[in-house]
Amino acid sequence: MKVYPDLPHRLPDSPQYPVVTIGVFDGLHRGHQKILDTALSVAAGRPVAVVTFDPHPRAVLGPAKRHRLLSPLPERLVLLGQWPVAAVGVLRFDQTIARQSYRDFVRQMLVEGLGARVLVLGYNVRLGHQREGTPERLAELGRELGFAIELVDAVQVAGEVVSSTSIRHRLDAGDVEGAAHLLGRPYDLQGTVVRGAGRGRTLGIPTANLDIPPEKLVPANGVYAVRTRLADRPIWGALNIGTVPTFQDEGRRSVEVHLLDWDGDLYGSRLRLELLQRLRDERRFPDAAALLAAVRADLDTVRRIGTSG
């Protein structure tokens, strides 16, 4: 898979991708997967290019705040690489692009720059300045410029339209199982293991503290059953997300995991944790002994889940 990291400033040397799809693809959920599958089917062996946005357009057009992503760009590229697409172009979205008309954007970048003869688009696509590039207008432009439009219907799970927004809502509520149904896979957190306060080791239950990218959405505070892979085998663990209120009145959120039956040194390594089930809320305990008893119960629950799974 060829990656073009700086569209539209650096385009391919030649317009070589006759089938193109474009979108943020945050999370690469079931709806996005249907778009990719449709593009590959329409292409019938011809090269397919995927255009994704970075940063998220809402981070540029909306209020000045950090946009929480289901899949920051490095994760998104890995996910997109699981499909046999020929190329991924990263559109560096800014105010200049936001002001560009849909006609100029489609003609200059997608048709002339990439070589699009078919655009495979989600049902709710809106391109260009003030989102004026509706499916109807894009189809009309296609007749003028010589490309076709293939619209992909929404995907529903249990009667609900799958969207990145609906997945964010579930994760904000700690519903990782519901999020997994919409994603088509467990939600995961990825980060480098860094040194923490060392409280877990003091209690006899050492934890690995993850440094999560600031733009990544971290689910609601609580304790979760998770799974990772180390030394070519699956490892289960209990993940705590929160501020550890038993030891402090307030503080920075931390993401720390105790891995069952693992005794290796993980500092500096990168972990990918699949969040499979929420066990309980994070809460303040009267003392360290009560906290330790609760953590041991959590680990027993995780072990049962791992054994049954």
pLDDT tens digits along 122-156 = 999 999 999 999 999 999 999 999 999 999 999 99
Q: Is the pLDDT confidence value at 245 over 80? A: no
Burial of 66 (0-12, 13-18, 19+ CB in 10 A): exposed
Instruction: Check whether residue 207 and residue 276 sit in a common domain.
Output: yes
Q: How far apart are CA 222 and CA 243, in angstroms?
A: 10
pLDDT confidence of residue 53: 96
Q: How far apart are CA 151 and CA 55, in angstroms?
A: 24
Instruction: Check whether residue 220 and residue 105 sit in a common domain.
Output: no
**Which domain does 24 fall in, by range?**
2-157
pLDDT band for 220, please (50, 70, 90 cuts).
very high
Does residue 71 form part of some domain? yes
pLDDT confidence of residue 265: 84
Catalytic-role residue among 132, 256, 274, 282: 256
pLDDT confidence of residue 263: 83
Determine what percent of the chain is predicted with pLDDT higher than 70: 94
CATH assignment of the domain containing 151: 3.40.50.620
Of 137, 157, 177, the last residue of a domain is 157
Instruction: Check whether residue 128 and residue 247 sit in a common domain.
Output: no
Question: Which of the residue ranges 59-63, 269-273, 276-280 would you say has the lowest mean pLDDT?
Answer: 59-63
Structure tokens given for 87: 């190329």
Burial of 194 (0-12, 13-18, 19+ CB in 10 A): middle
Q: How far apart are CA 285 and CA 216, in angstroms?
A: 29
Instruction: Check whether residue 242 and residue 137 sit in a common domain.
Output: no
Of 157, 172, 205, the last residue of a domain is 157
C-alpha closest to that of 260 among 249, 248, 273: 273
Instruction: Check whether residue 6 and residue 140 sit in a common domain.
Output: yes
Give the list of residues 6+ apart from residue 32 with CB closer than 8 angstroms, or none. 23, 25, 122
Instruction: Check whether residue 127 and residue 202 sit in a common domain.
Output: no
CATH assignment of the domain containing 220: 2.40.30.30
Does residue 222 form part of some domain? yes
Residue for token pair 């089930």: 277
| For residues 185-207, average pLDDT | 82
Query: Looking at per-residue confidence, does 15 or 292 come out higher?
Result: 15
Does residue 20 form part of some domain? yes
- Residue 256 designated active-site: yes
Instruction: Check whether residue 148 and residue 199 sit in a common domain.
Output: no
Does residue 178 form part of some domain? no
47-91 pLDDT, tens per residue? 999 999 999 888 888 776 667 999 999 999 999 999 999 999 999
19-34 pLDDT, tens per residue? 999 999 999 999 999 9
pLDDT band for 244, please (50, 70, 90 cuts).
confident
Strands 19-22 and 48-54 turn out to be parallel
Instruction: Check whether residue 223 and residue 142 sit in a common domain.
Output: no
